[in-house]
């Protein structure tokens, strides 16, 4: 991990400790998401809501006005579900140090062995959801009635962008936030 990346992750960690949303930001969410999409947004951890709004703001400040891209910015991490801060740190460290160990430790379905919520499974489930959150988030967004383009961007936001301009914009904003 480079020093720049370590500094970025440190800022992200300390920012997560004091995450909050202002009244104006909640109004922005309401203006850009349908009621069903808003329920997804507000079901995310406050840290993820803050991050999603930061990604959204990077795109808006860059002049982006595409409704599907902006909705994807607000919902791109919705598939993570509830994840404790220490689980996020463990995920980032394992991904950097040993992706193979991360895949071995992560629960494949993110749910308890006996079934139940798609956001269960303890710490192994949290690692599993972090690994496949893009696919999970796309399914949730589709079920909430998001546009096909929003669903596509959420699904692919961790994949190489290639020549996909909208995806590259979302990824750049995600990395900058």
Tens-place pLDDT, residues 6-31:
555 555 555 555 678 999 999 999 99
How many domains is the chain partitioned into structurally?
1
Please determine, for residue 4, whether its predicted confidence score (pLDDT) is greater than 90: no
Q: What is the pLDDT at residue 73?
A: 98
Q: What is the pLDDT at residue 117?
A: 44
Tens digit of pLDDT for each residue in 43-72? Answer: 999 999 999 999 999 999 999 999 999 999
Using the structure block, give the residue that is written with the tokens 């269960």.
120
> What's the mean pLDDT when you consider all of the chain?
87
- Report field, pTM of the whole predicted structure over 0.95: no
Where does the chain have alpha helices with state H? 3-17, 23-32, 35-43, 46-61, 67-75, 85-97, 99-105, 122-131, 133-143, 148-156, 165-176
Q: What are all long-range contacts of 95-101, with beta carbons under 8 Å and residues at least 24 apart?
A: 96/1
User: Residue 125 sits in which domain range?
Assistant: 3-176
Q: What is the pLDDT at residue 25?
A: 95
Q: Which tokens is 154 given? A: 């959420």
Tens digit of pLDDT for each residue in 127-150? Answer: 988 899 999 999 999 999 999 999
């Amino acid at each position: 991990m480079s020093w720049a990346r370590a500094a970025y992750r440190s800022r992200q960690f300390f920012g997560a400790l004091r995450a909050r949303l202002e009244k104006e930001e909640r109004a922005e969410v309401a203006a850009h998401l349908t009621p069903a999409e808003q329920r997804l947004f507000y079901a995310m951890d406050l840290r993820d809501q803050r991050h999603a709004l930061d990604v959204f703001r990077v795109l808006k400040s860059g002049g982006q006005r595409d409704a599907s891209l902006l909705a994807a910015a607000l919902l791109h991490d919705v598939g993570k579900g509830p994840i404790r801060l220490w689980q996020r740190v463990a995920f980032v460290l394992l991904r950097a140090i040993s992706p193979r160990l991360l895949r071995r430790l992560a629960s494949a379905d993110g749910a308890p062995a006996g079934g139940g919520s798609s956001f269960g499974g303890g710490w192994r489930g949290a690692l599993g959801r972090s690994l496949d959150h893009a696919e999970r988030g796309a399914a949730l967004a589709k079920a909430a009635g998001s546009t096909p383009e929003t669903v596509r961007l959420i699904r692919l936001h961790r994949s190489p962008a290639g020549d996909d301009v909208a995806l590259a914009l979302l990824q750049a904003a995600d990395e900058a936030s």
